[in-house]
A and B are shown apart, each in its own frame.
Chain A
């Protein structure tokens, strides 16, 4: 795109955003729902909308302060369900992401930490500055990659580089169910979600291209991911037709189907109170609420309890929207509130279906345990299911 075309594109973006932000009537209904609300309105959806609106309307330069306001959002979307216009109109997260694209196009975004992540994404195929070969490290030695399989597993970067349990647990579940599956292992590339979240759309496109190439070589019937972010990316950001009929499933949808087919059987576990944390990308944004609950309910010994704020009202873990990389401390504060909410309903274990949520909540749980505040475990649903299949946990 030439500079002139880019300028035209930026102008168009500003026009769209000016109209879109007007939809916010400043009623402040969204304010308490923002996990990052500090007491100042710019740390809320309405403040973000009003700030952006004012800057565009007054033809202000896109300054660092406005950039900080717009990147300080986990894109959890809770505000959209509290909005007085009930966000049939104020699509806050879409506006925030579009505004971030505008910052990137103007060369004023993303945040410095995000720039480093994107650099890593380009060079290593993941935003975590990890050698792509390391993706193999967490796979059990018994795993043998196939050239073709009915089910292709896609784990994502957080699972591959920052978690040691989800991959072995998932493989164990599928082996136990007798499924024909494989995974991309070291060939897996970031799904591109982080690029989209921080406004680097061109880099998302490159990720799409790479992954579609790998997926098409395997020719699976279904692509299954255990990551809520990857799942949303495949569902909403990849061109649907490019999958050539490959069914896109989150792990919980797949496991629920295997349960229905009788391919998975559980043994009894000790009685435990389990609170299910709805990841924003899977729950509020895609409406997948029941499969994880249905799975947990079928595990003998599980007493499934709900957070006071659940499903569409579920509160973010603090890790979304690229925010955790920006402010680890604040992100941990948000995650700690979520853990405290689990303690309030007497949960012994928090189960989630997103490796980022698990990571955030796990750190908060550990911190609280160290401080003597609480004792609670955080697990991904795959770990829990694998344990229940073995009858140990």
Chain B
């Protein structure tokens, strides 16, 4: 669509209804606003509210939609469940929101040892389906109860899990069905557990952040559920929790599947929420795995001994039961820290192994370096085993949108600075949208320009999630 060209929304709605049916198109203002808002702490701008929301039910319908929209150069924003914390799903100009929820189905094929599922399948539903057959989804995003698999695969994220075990979706996906922005439907990859050597288009989409196509079907290898054992440790100084995980890598012990961390503030809130005694410091949690329970138990003992060596004032193996469940669940209650006062904004700092303890110290000093959040309370948590740390700040409801936006930018500057300093890049939320300035600084203008050129190859009219490659 040309700039300043007036959209005939009535005709657009009628045309889209012809493709997907009357029940799956809405130009209701409340629907449009609801689909446009994402967890960014400020409201959607009027100029970016979509014309219409459409909910197609198949790759064929998406293909027809794309042909129609591409011809008219109408922007399309994909919406799985809109959980991105980096602004991927928020429309950056007027257009159509394409919600993928109806592409929800799961087919486990034990003869081939793969599972196929629709791009709109909810992560938790897939976890449950696999679990019922003794398999395991090698990813664990905090948003699993709503996040769609298409979005997770396109972000190539595994959430809190430690990379060294099962890798990323790009290591597990055998093949994809993708609708290109120009409307063609392509299949990539293989049905064999043996992946193609050399060029495989699968890899272009498994970390595409929705820039190159709409993932409508995923084929992923089946992973047998490991045996697990849980460990918890309490530290006075957060740096020692970091030293513990650094030491695990150094001493070549079997790295746990999860290595979680709760700063003292966060742990206090989380433990209180679950009805546990305040821990009196920060908390490290680990899940050791093995091919047998004995192996998992043995690995957990090694992890526990490392916590003890690194000055944990208490470290113990948790037997399955209510206490173990409560302690692990306390990790999920981090947002209780907002206490009804407002939204939040968080950094995601990833480090190379040698910097983990230093980053831990620095993240706790961040408030002193800020202007808008000067001396604000920071709630730290993270996935130390995965070399990842978060710092969360509360954004009061009373602040104006302008101030909230400025506050978020201030925090993203910290995110940028520390990820550069510690020689890494965000491991959960992706590199585009709000993180484009980081991408440019870390990899250079040329690298960014290459991404833009690649986008043009797949999406010559730049209709799919436009703006995400340019930054928020």
Contacts and interface: CB of A to CB of B under 8 A. Distances in A.
Contact of A46 (B26, B34, B41, B339): B34
A89 B31 contact: no
Given A23-B397, A41-B31, A29 B336 contact: no
B429 interface: no
A26 interface: yes
Mostly helix, strand, loop or mixed at chain B's interface?
loop
Contacts of B38: 26
A36 to B, nearest CB: 14
A25 B335 CA distance: 11
Interface string A62-80: 0001100100000000000
Contacts of B338: 23, 85, 88-89
A54 B26 CA distance: 17
Contacts of B370: none
Interface in B17-65: 26, 28-31, 33-35, 37-39, 41, 43, 55
A40 B26 contact: yes
B390 to A, nearest CB: 14
Interface residues of A, number: 31
Contacts of B335: 84-86
A42 interface: yes
B122 A27 contact: no
B304 to A, nearest CB: 30
Contact of A31 (B28, B30, B102, B146): B146
A88 B340 contact: yes
B28 A47 contact: no
B398 interface: yes
Given A28-B81, A32-B146, A39-B102, A23 B28 contact: no
Chain B CB count within 10 A is highest, among A31, A54, A65, A69, for A54
B31 A40 contact: yes
Contact of A23 (B35, B81, B101, B342): B342
A42 B29 CA distance: 10
B342 A22 contact: yes
A268 interface: no
A223 B398 CA distance: 43
A42 B145 contact: no
A32 to B, nearest CB: 7
Contacts of B29: 54
A88 B336 contact: yes
B30 A89 contact: no
B146 A29 contact: yes
Contact of B397 (A22, A28, A69): A22
A57 interface: yes
Contact of A19 (B30, B81, B397): B397
B82 interface: yes
B340 A25 contact: no
B83 interface: yes
B344 interface: yes
B30 A86 contact: no
Contacts of A66: 30
Contact of B340 (A23, A29, A41): A23
Nearest to B24: A39
Given A28-B82, A31-B81, A84-B335, A89 B340 contact: yes
B373 interface: no
Interface in A282-320: none
A51 interface: yes
A79 to B, nearest CB: 12
B143 A27 contact: yes
Interface string A15-56: 000010011011111011000000111100011001101110
B136 interface: no
Contact of A25 (B31, B35, B145, B343): B343
A32 B122 contact: yes
A51 to B, nearest CB: 4
Contacts of A23: 338, 340, 342-343, 397
A32 B341 CA distance: 25
B105 interface: no
Interface of A: 19, 22-23, 25-29, 31-32, 39-42, 46-47, 50-51, 53-55, 57, 65-66, 69, 82, 84-86, 88-89
Given A23-B338, A27-B82, A85-B340, 10 more contacts: A26-B37, A27-B146, A28-B83, A31-B81, A40-B26, A50-B33, A50-B34, A54-B29, A85-B336, A88-B339
